[in-house]
Amino acid sequence: ARELTQNPLQKTWEPYDNGLPAGHSAQRGVCMTNCPTLIVMVGLPARGKTYISKKLTRYLNWIGVPTKEFNVGQYRRDLVKKYKSFEFFLPDNEEGLKIRKQCALAALNDVRQYLSEENGHVAVFDATNTTRERRETIYKFGEENGYKTFFVESVCVDPEVIAANIVQVKLGSPDYVDCSNDEATEDFMKRIECYKNSYETLDETLDKDLSYIKIMDVGRSYLVNRVMDHIQSRIVYYLMNIHVTPRSIYLCRHGESELNLKGRIGGDPGLSVRGKEFAKSLAQFINEQNIKDLKVWTSQMKRTIQTAEALGVPYEQWKVLNEIDAGVCEEMTYEEIQENYPLEFALRDQDKYRYRYPKGESYEDLVQRLEPVIMELERQENVLVICHQAVMRCLLAYFLDKPAEQLPYLKCPLHTVLKLTPVAYGCKVESIFLNVEAVNTHRDKPENVDISRPPEEALVTVPAHQ
């Protein structure tokens, strides 16, 4: 007889048959609304497929959708330790074909493991997948396993875009460690030619039943076909917002506030004397950086607006950039929270990402609230965001691909600017302290998170304050 058992962590009820989990609906070949999604990249080499895969994976994980990418090129490198030349990719190289097929199957096997056994929601299958036959095989694989398949094709005809892709990514590839740049470029161009003859692009008529987005010249235009559900529409929405123009994003907190000095959280205080000093230093720093068309964003809180005022440039206020709402704990010190709400304080230490202040917010809520900011940051070029500790942690976790468990403990000190510059597949971070002292507001997770802990063990990591 089937019984229901609750998974205490995920708060989900699951049917059990004779003490064992009852089969997942997908294993019975039924495609439910909420079934896993298989994203399949399509396109010639050096078209930004891996860039898109990594970025999409990072975004979906950040919004709370468990996602993993499977790069078939990496499977090949693991199998064939030494790359010799483009000849491996020739259509009549039987050994090469055999190895490439073997790698694709190994990757699909891992996709199945991840989506059907490990509770993954989205898998990104990153390979060229340039023939209709190969895509048909993958589509059938998805159908057999109860996944929805969504294709993402990147088409580039602009020679400048292709050249930039080759320089940025392929020259740093493990395939070309022992080559000069010219040798690598020449070999890689020949590798692209190997695929060109058999390349069949997604076609409005022939592929009318497939779900896909086709991206032309990194976002010059798009073709979207048969979007089947919420997750596919989120993917399309995201992919239509990203670009590859070089730029930098500057993140910093407001200057030190009156409540920071007193160790109190939240509230809407003004800047301290040192906070005002920082605002002047920030203006000087931004001036010296000589940034083209810089946009400045703040929250709607007094301390970020006062910081931006010193810059003497136009700025925009965003309500969604306001600090995390601490609910009943607003304007309290950690000592007061421990005294008045010891249970809440312990529960927050046990799971800081998901814990929600009574009548307030959690970091998880904050990530949902900040999604429009991420979309807009992806669209923009140079931006300075003057925000708050919890908000900055969420934004930083997105750009640096940090998991939810680490997010609430990322260090975002006062009076320090973080300059983020997107590079090939990630983000370069420079931390610039502007030489104006400020209090430390970072509280690490204490060792004892038990609800019956003594107060001194709860307060051991609280930073010093007035």
Cα torsion for 118, 11, 38, 169, to the nearest 10°?
Answer: -80
Residue 256 annotated in ligand binding? yes
DSSP H helices in 113-257: 132-145, 159-168, 181-196, 230-239
Terminal-to-terminal C-alpha distance of the chain: 63
Residue 134 annotated in ligand binding? no
Cβ partners under 8 Å of residue 32, min gap 6: 25, 26, 146
Whether 274 and 255 have beta carbons less than 8 Å apart is answered as: yes
Residue 303 annotated in ligand binding? yes
CA dist 245 and 256 (Å) reads 34
Collapsing DSSP states into helix, strand and coil, what is residue 21?
strand
Residue 243 annotated in ligand binding? no
DSSP 319: G
Whether 20 and 14 have beta carbons less than 8 Å apart is answered as: no
Positions annotated as catalytic residues are 254, 323
Residue 144 annotated in ligand binding? no
CA dist 225 and 222 (Å) reads 10
Residues 23-38, buried b or exposed e (16+ Cβ, 10 A)?
ebebeeeebeeebbbb
Task: Using the structure block, give the residue that is written with the tokens 């669209």.
Answer: 379
Residue 253 annotated in ligand binding? yes
Range 293-297, long-range pairs (CB < 8 A, 24+ positions):
293/381, 293/382, 294/382, 294/383, 294/384, 295/380, 295/382, 295/383, 295/384, 296/383, 296/384, 296/386, 297/321, 297/373, 297/383, 297/384, 297/385, 297/386, 297/387
- The first and second tokens of residue 73, run together, are 């090129």
The closest of 185, 151, 323, 187 to 253, measured between CA atoms, is: 323
Q: Give the length of the chain.
A: 466
- The first and second tokens of residue 42, run together, are 């399509």
Collapsing DSSP states into helix, strand and coil, what is residue 200?
coil
Beta-strand runs (E) in 61-210 = 67-71, 122-126, 148-155
Residue 95 annotated in ligand binding? no
Residue 356 annotated in ligand binding? no
The closest of 56, 3, 89 to 378, measured between CA atoms, is: 56
Residue 443 annotated in ligand binding? no
Whether 81 and 455 have beta carbons less than 8 Å apart is answered as: no
Q: How many CB atoms lie within 10 A of CB 428?
A: 11
Binding residues: 253-260, 303
Binding residues for substrate: 253-260, 303
